[in-house]
A = this chain, B = another copy of it.
Amino acid sequence: MATKNQTKVVAEPGRQELFITREFEAPRELVFKAFTDPDLLTRWLGPCDMTMRIDVMEPGDGGYWRFVHIDQKGNEYGFHGVTHEVAAPERVIRTFEFEGLPEKGHVAMETAIFEALPGDRTRVTVQSVFRSVADRDGMVQSGMERGVVDSHQKLDEILATELQLG
């Protein structure tokens, strides 16, 4: 069951950060779990035409993670980072690096904030801070928005299913 909630990506010109905002029809604890539980995460993260594999996802502060998205031809796109803080059910702060870039070291720091809204709804805001405006612009131009929108639509359905299962 898809919702009418829209994913908003804001990247103000000349700044080295971007913001992704989305509301979900589920309570904060469940949305937080969907972002941090490997079994739930593999069911929604990534573009619709790719599958997703979690290679490593160490829990808690200091945990290392590596995710791989796989397209229909079998090409793999890897991402990895380390988690600075998991403050359930409010906040996760971690580093993030796409392994497909021509050189290493173009790392971003991501802060995901989970806000409880009236009516058992939740607003998620993800801020990514980059080492440069160019790194930020490269991420925007990579077509990441489509992958994020796809992901959130899949997440809508998973949250609805989880709520039905109780």
Contacts and interface: CB of A to CB of B under 8 A. Distances in A.
The number of times this chain is found in the oligomer is 2
A165 to B, nearest CB: 32
A16 B129 contact: yes
A130 interface: yes
A166 interface: no
Interface in A86-109: 87, 91, 93, 95, 97, 104-105, 107-109
Interface class of chain A by DSSP: strand
Interface in A3-19: 15-17
Contact of A82 (B84, B91, B105): B84
Q: How large is the interface on A (under 10, 10 to 19, 20 to 34, 35 or more residues)?
A: 20 to 34
A105 to B, nearest CB: 6
Given A84-B97, A87-B105, A130 B131 contact: no
Contact of A107 (B105, B107, B109): B109
Given A93-B95, A95-B93, A104 B127 contact: no
Interface of A: 15-17, 58, 61-64, 81-85, 87, 91, 93, 95, 97, 104-105, 107-109, 111, 127, 129-131
